[in-house]
Chain A
């Protein structure tokens, strides 16, 4: 069995300032070895540990989709030592990646169903992976209607603006972007995600909801989803907890008897209802 602590070498090919406040950068990494790229088989919702050699490693959700071969993308907020260093790295730097880690969004279960994807702020990363995967011509036919509700404090803080603009033009995705307060030049909706979800009122009939965002957004969106008729089994969430090993051994990311790194990060609301609120 492979040593799960050894990172695969990757080259940072793009260090892109994603948000207006410059606190989120999107990093595009390419595998140095072709065989590593082949072995790195992932699905939307999974994460990886990214190494900055000499500084350390940290876990990030994979923002790219397996339908985009040749590279991995991570959108990373500048919060700690590893991420601050990462933000300053020049393109061309050699990094390490361990993964893919954790479970994925239940894309098999989603087949034939409508999907309501709800995201807030910079928690949109693995949702981008999921949406990109579903919109791929090979997969789009497997899924029903796709509704995406995405909110940020202001337009400058939305991730993946170019892609949002492209999705806007498509007829096979219903994209609703919203910002907290009115801003000049913004033609989209204004209001918090829970309120907008209530207005849009996506049907729970034959549908799954996938929700990722700050705790306060999740807290207030949950009752809306319940009111709309989404059962706890059909509300999919992704947790984050501090991690080191990413493989269920270092002991810190557990919520009750489940480890976010190996039993998650994707859980249904029903599963989380069985666990203590330690996340």
Chain B
């Protein structure tokens, strides 16, 4: 189907009748996903957002429940967000990240109702990447600038119009009442050329990486590889698949809330025991944990790499520590025997 760019605002305004709509908007010198209250706020000519749209489903800070202590008990009020949402204009890599987060928040034994309720109530309208950034490497991880995995609709920008690829029934419902024309031959041809032209400049060789990581936990390579890392956690806070969190209470008098906040494996306090013992005491162990978690442990547990190649950790690292180089170094490194 074809959507004129001029129709976008009207379409979003129409969707806002029934949904909270989240779209990329410009804030300062970067883009982020925010709830919009007018269709013209959505800015779809962007490369990617600073912070991934995962914060729509898994906010940086959210109330789990509120409580009021009474003499003979405690009143708990769950804070589950059941509103219907649409994320418009997210990139295919970020859509894929939701599929990875699903595994974390839904196990056989436990379901995280906060993430899962939002997830089930959110429709994803993707935007293909005509011009991937130099830091993008999604194709190395099975994704692509126009990958549709996890999306309900995909918009392909062909100049003055979008070719709308309908991927699910939920996606189709969003177009009800729009009476969009089918994509004509010319539009299809343009879309094909746009997709062909969206080449990625970098490839990361992941072949055999997992079996290397299986045996290099004690390898001296980690002594060097982490050295310039400051432990600032910019990589984890801007990563679409990082999901670590802290839980704290905020209270005044007899009332309060239990809140969860994003947390990061790059911080020393993350694993510090009450006794003072820390299983990951230095930057080396913490950096190793981040690499191992994404490229080995997650693969062991979910049969997928916990990286979608969005490149945010590369862009946002204050010391230019590039995960692609780290992986190349591991790949090129001679595998020594894994002894303590």
Contact = CB atoms under 8 A, between A and B. Distances in A.
Given A5-B64, A250-B263, A245 B245 contact: yes
B104 A56 contact: no
B112 A4 contact: yes
Contact of B111 (A4, A9, A57, A253): A4
A248 interface: yes
A254 interface: yes
B217 interface: yes
B73 A9 contact: yes
A94 interface: yes
Max chain A C-beta neighbours (<10 A), residue from B70, B218, B243, B301: B301
A120 interface: no
Interface stretch (B90-98, B176-184, B274-282): B274-282
Interface string B129-150: 0000000000000000000000
B340 A277 contact: yes
B123 to A, nearest CB: 23
Interface in A196-223: 215
Contact of B274 (A1, A32, A79, A249): A79
A277 B280 CA distance: 10
B247 to A, nearest CB: 5
A175 B78 CA distance: 47
A252 B244 contact: yes
B246 to A, nearest CB: 6
Contacts of A189: none
Given A79-B275, A240-B273, A242-B273, A54 B300 contact: no
Contacts of A276: 217-218
A9 B340 contact: no
A252 to B, nearest CB: 5
B275 A250 contact: no
A247 interface: yes
Contacts of B340: 277
Interface string A23-45: 00000000010000000000000
A251 B73 contact: no
A34 to B, nearest CB: 14
A53 B263 contact: no
B285 interface: yes
B197 to A, nearest CB: 39
The number of chain A residues touching the other chain, given as a range, is: 35 or more
B293 A83 contact: no
Contacts of A79: 274-275
Contacts of A248: 104, 107, 110
Interface in A51-72: 51, 53-57
Contacts of A9: 73-74, 76
A9 B218 CA distance: 45
Contacts of A4: 110-112
A256 interface: yes
Contacts of A7: 76
Contact of A53 (B69, B78, B273): B69
A5 B245 contact: no
A54 B252 CA distance: 8
A53 B66 CA distance: 10
A265 interface: no
Contact of B247 (A32, A57, A215): A57
Interface centre among A240, A248, A251, A277 (most CB of B within 10 A): A251
A250 B67 contact: no
A95 to B, nearest CB: 9
B69 A257 contact: no
Contacts of B19: none
B84 to A, nearest CB: 20
B206 interface: no
Could you tell me the dominant secondary structure of chain A's interface residues?
loop
Contacts of B72: 32, 94
B73 to A, nearest CB: 6
Interface in B213-247: 217-218, 243-247
Contacts of B293: 251, 254
A254 B271 CA distance: 10
B265 A251 contact: yes
A190 B182 CA distance: 87
Interface string A4-28: 1111010000000000000000000
A56 B110 CA distance: 21
Given A96-B74, A257-B296, A53 B251 contact: yes
B335 interface: no
Nearest to B278: A242
A279 B247 contact: no
Contact of A250 (B73, B113, B244, B277): B244
A262 interface: yes
> Which of B67, B76, B110, B292 has the most C-beta atoms of chain A within 10 angstroms of its own C-beta?
B110
A170 B84 CA distance: 64
A251 B265 CA distance: 8
A252 B265 contact: yes
Contacts of A5: 64-65, 112, 114, 247, 258
Given A32-B73, A277-B340, A244 B271 contact: no
Interface in B96-120: 104-105, 107, 109-114
Contacts of A251: 243-245, 263, 265, 293
Given A6-B76, A256-B292, 5 more contacts: A6-B78, A56-B248, A94-B69, A242-B270, A242-B272
